[in-house]
A and B are shown apart, each in its own frame.
Chain A
C-alpha cells in the first residue's frame, strides 16, 4: 500500500471510530489496524533513503535504473 493510501485508510478508520454504531469488537479491530498502519507509514518516512537514479530503457518497455553520482 502506498504512503498516501495508508494515510487515507487511517483517516477512514478514525472517522469510523468517531461515528456511532461501531460495535466494540469491531472498534478494537479497527484500532489495531490503525496502529499498524501508523507504524508502517512512520517507518516508511523515517527509514526510506531517497536515491537518485537515471532511467534507461533497454528496449521498449524494458527499464533499468542506474544510480547517478552527484
Chain B
C-alpha cells in the first residue's frame, strides 16, 4: 500500500508539488513547503516523497550487474550492491523474499535481480527491493544444488551403501504426487498394464510453488506413518526448472532418506536430475519409468511361480528316487555281506577240516606207520604188555586192515 505524500504535504487546491512549484504559484499563494526557510519540510517528508515518486515511476524490473559487498545480516536479510563499470545501486533481499531465490549470490557474480526500486527512509538511500534473482547460466540454481548436495553428502545420505533393494513383488505401491497431475495418470496406466493385481495409495502434495517442499515432506511422512505400502514413488511430470525446484529441496531429500520403505523418484523428463534423485534408493527418469521399476510384470511373476512349482515337484521325485536307490544299495550290500559271511564260514570249515586231517592217525598211517588194535575191543595195542603169544589182532595200515597173530613176544 502506498501513501501519497504529495497530497499531504502540498497545500490543498494549490497546483504544485515539491518538484513542480512554479514562480507563478509562488507569487500568488502562501510559500510552498520547502520554498523558504520558514516552510522547510521535515526530512521524513522528503524521503517519503522521493520514495513515492520513485516507486510511481518505476514498475518492478530486472536489473543486470555484478554483486559486491554482499552481507547477510543477523536478522536474515541480504544486503549488497549491484554495479557495473560506472554505477551502482544498493539492493536488499528481505528474508521473506529469499524463498523464491535458490541461494545467495557469490561476490563478483554476474546476476540479474528483479525488484522494486525504492527509497529507504531510515538511510535516505535508494535501493532495489529484490524478490527474484538468478545468475548468468543458472549459476544460482546450480550453486544452491551443489550446496545442498554437499550437506547431504556430509551426512552420508548419498552413500551407495544406503540404497535399499526394491521389493521383488510389491502388492501395494505408495505415491507422493499431485492427485491431479499427469504423473499419477502415467503411473496408474503402467501399473494397470504390468501388474493389475497391485494397488496404489496416493499421498497428495502440491508439487510446485513455495508450499511444495513442505507439502511433499508432509506427504512422505504421512504415507510412512500409514505404513501399509511396500515401496514409494515420489514424483511429478515434466516442467520448467522452477517447477521441479521442490525436488531439490533439502528437507524433501531428508524426508526421502528417512522413509520407512524404499523410495523411487520419477521427476520430470529424462534430463532432469534433482537432489531427490540422488538420495532416492532408485532414480527413474520419469514417473512412468518409476512405476516400471516399482512393479514387475504379472506374467513374469506367474512364470517364476510355475518354475518354483516345477522345482518343488521334481525335488520330491528326486527325493523318492534317491530313497529307492538307497534301499536297493542296501539290499545289494546285504546280499554281498551274506555271501561274504557264507564264504568265510566255508573257509573256516575247510581250515578246521584241514587241521582235523592233520591230527587224524590216517595221515600218520599214510607216512608208513601202522596201528595195532585188539580185534574184539578195538583197543589200541601200543605196548608189548598188550600182546600175548597167539593173540589175534588187527593191524591198520594206510589202505586197509589185516588180521595178524602174535608169534613171539620179547
A residues within 8 Å of B by Cβ? 2-4, 7, 10-11, 13-14, 17-18, 20, 22, 24, 27-28, 31, 34-35, 38, 41-42, 44-55, 57, 60-61, 63, 65, 68, 70
Distance of A34 from chain B, by nearest CB (Å) = 5
A44 touches B302 (CB 8 A): no
A44 touches B222 (CB 8 A): no
A4 touches B167 (CB 8 A): yes
Give the size range of B's interface with the partner.
35 or more
Smallest CB gap from A60: residue in B: B225
Secondary structure at the A interface, as helix, strand, loop or mixed, is helix
B312 touches A65 (CB 8 A): no
B201 touches A53 (CB 8 A): yes
Q: How far is the CA of A13 from the CA of B308 in the complex (A)?
A: 10
Given contacts A18-B318, A34-B312, A48-B171, 8 further A-B contacts (CB under 8 A): A4-B167, A4-B168, A31-B312, A31-B316, A38-B305, A45-B298, A55-B174, A57-B225
Given A52-B188, A55-B203, A65-B201, A46 and B302 contact (CB-CB distance below 8 Å): yes
Interface centre among B197, B222, B323 (most CB of A within 10 A): B197
Distance of A60 from chain B, by nearest CB (Å) = 8
Given A14-B311, A55-B226, A45 and B203 contact (CB-CB distance below 8 Å): no
Q: How far is the CA of A18 from the CA of B320 in the complex (A)?
A: 11
Q: How far is the CA of A27 from the CA of B312 in the complex (A)?
A: 11
Convert B138-173 into 0s and 1s, putting 1 for each residue whose CB lies closer than 8 angstroms to a CB of A: 000000000000000000000000000001110100
Q: In the complex, which residues of chain A have a beta carbon less than 8 angstroms from the beta carbon of B169?
A: 3-4, 7
Q: In the complex, which residues of chain A have a beta carbon less than 8 angstroms from the beta carbon of B188?
A: 52, 70
Distance of B83 from chain A, by nearest CB (Å) = 52
B315 touches A49 (CB 8 A): no
Secondary structure at the B interface, as helix, strand, loop or mixed, is helix
Quick check: is B179 within 8 A (CB to CB) of the other chain? yes
Q: In the complex, which residues of chain B have a beta carbon less than 8 angstroms from the beta carbon of A31?
A: 312, 315-316
Interface centre among B204, B309, B323 (most CB of A within 10 A): B309
Interface centre among B200, B201, B204, B316 (most CB of A within 10 A): B316
Ranked nearest first, the 8 interchain pairs of A and B with the lowest CB-CB distance are A17-B315, A48-B197, A34-B312, A50-B198, A14-B311, A50-B199, A51-B199, A55-B203
A50 touches B202 (CB 8 A): no
B residues within 8 Å of A by Cβ? 167-169, 171, 174, 179, 184-185, 188, 191-192, 195-204, 222-223, 225-226, 298, 301-302, 304-305, 308-309, 311-312, 315-316, 318-320, 322-323
Distance of A27 from chain B, by nearest CB (Å) = 5
Q: In the complex, which residues of chain B have a beta carbon less than 8 angstroms from the beta carbon of A38?
A: 305, 308-309, 312
Distance of B384 from chain A, by nearest CB (Å) = 81
Given A42-B305, A54-B179, A17 and B199 contact (CB-CB distance below 8 Å): no
Query: Would you list 26 pairs from A and B whose C-beta atoms are within 8 A, ordered by A residue?
Result: A4-B167, A4-B169, A14-B312, A17-B316, A34-B312, A38-B305, A42-B305, A44-B171, A44-B197, A45-B305, A46-B302, A50-B192, A50-B195, A50-B197, A50-B198, A50-B199, A51-B199, A51-B200, A53-B199, A53-B201, A54-B179, A55-B174, A55-B223, A63-B226, A68-B202, A70-B184
Q: How far is the CA of A60 from the CA of B298 in the complex (A)?
A: 35
Q: How far is the CA of A18 from the CA of B310 in the complex (A)?
A: 13
Q: How far is the CA of A11 from the CA of B316 in the complex (A)?
A: 13
Q: How far is the CA of A51 from the CA of B318 in the complex (A)?
A: 42
B323 touches A24 (CB 8 A): yes
B316 touches A55 (CB 8 A): no
A49 touches B197 (CB 8 A): yes
Partner of A45, one of B168, B192, B202, B302: B302
Q: In the complex, which residues of chain A have a beta carbon less than 8 angstroms from the beta carbon of B226?
A: 55, 57, 63
B225 touches A7 (CB 8 A): no
Interface centre among B195, B201, B223, B315 (most CB of A within 10 A): B315
Q: How far is the CA of A7 from the CA of B300 in the complex (A)?
A: 14
Distance of B190 from chain A, by nearest CB (Å) = 11
Partner of A52, one of B199, B204, B312: B199
